[in-house]
A and B are shown apart, each in its own frame.
Chain A
Amino acid sequence: GENVEQHPSTLSVQEGDSAVIKCTYSDSASNYFPWYKQELGKRPQLIIDIRSNVGEKKDQRIAVTLNKTAKHFSLHITETQPEDSAVYFCAAPMAGGTSYGKLTFGQGTILTVHP
C-alpha cells in the first residue's frame, strides 16, 4: 500500500513569513496529491490539490509543488496570517489493487503563525 511521510510535525512562523511542509510517498503510480487544513475543533477541508500531469499549482497565497522523480510534494504558504494556524495534512492514493483511490494521509503538521 501507499506510505506517506510528512515533515515537520510542528512549524512556528512569524506573521508574514513563508511556511513549507513536505511529504514523501512510496507508490510511484500515485497520481493525485491533496492537502487538507483542519482548524481546531473543525473537520478537515481540502485547500489545494495537484495531479501528476503538472509540477506546480497556485491558489492565491498557497501553492503545491510536485516532484514525481523524487516522489515528494510540498505545500507552500506565503505571507502567512494568524488564521493560517491549523493542522495541515497531505495525502496520496493507492494507485492499484482492490483499494485503488484510497487516500493515505500524512501524520499532520501543526502550523502556528504568531502575530
Chain B
Amino acid sequence: GAGVSQSPSNKVTEKGKDVELRCDPISGHTALYWYRQSLGQGLEFLIYFQGNSAPDKSGLPSDRFSAERTGGSVSTLTIQRTQQEDSAVYLCASSLRARADSSYEQYFGPGTRLTVT
C-alpha cells in the first residue's frame, strides 16, 4: 500500500517568510510525528499526535513552529518568519496507535528539505 508522503520535497524560501509542510500518513495510522534533521545530525523530535489526545508539543523549538492534524489524518507543520537556522530536512512518520503495553514501528516519509536563504 501507499507509504507516508510529504510535500513539497524541496522548499527554498527567503528569511522572514512563512512555510507550510504537509504530511499524509499511512491510512489507519493514528500516531503521527514530526522530526527535524539537520545535515549530518540525528532526529530532533518536534511534535507527536496520538489519536484524539492533545498533541505533545514539547519538541517545538520556538513559538514560530506550530502543527495541526485535521480529521486525524493529514498534518501540516507551519514555520512562521523563517530563519536560516530553520534550514533542515523535516521528516514525518506515522504508526499504529500505541497501547500502554506496546509500541509499533514508525514509517517515515521522504522528508521535505527546507532551505532558508
B residues sitting closer than 8 Å to A (CB atoms) are 31, 33, 41-43, 45, 48, 50, 53-54, 56, 58, 91, 95, 97-106, 108-111
Task: Kindly supply a per-residue 1/0 record for chain A positions 23-35, scoring 1 wherever the CB is within 8 Å of any chain B CB and 0 otherwise.
Answer: 0000000011010
A residues sitting closer than 8 Å to B (CB atoms) are 1, 31-32, 34, 43-46, 49, 51, 89, 93, 95-96, 98-108
In the complex the two chains form, is A89's CB within 8 Å of B103's CB? no
In the complex the two chains form, is B103's CB within 8 Å of A43's CB? no
In the complex the two chains form, is A105's CB within 8 Å of B42's CB? yes
Residues of B close to A107: CB separation below 8 A: 42
Q: Check A44/B103 contact, CB under 8 A, given A99-B50, A104-B45.
A: no
In the complex the two chains form, is B43's CB within 8 Å of A89's CB? yes
Q: A44, A100, A102: which contacts B100 (Cβ < 8 A)? A: A100
A102 to B1, CA, bound (A): 24
Chain B nearest CB: distance from A98 CB in Å? 6
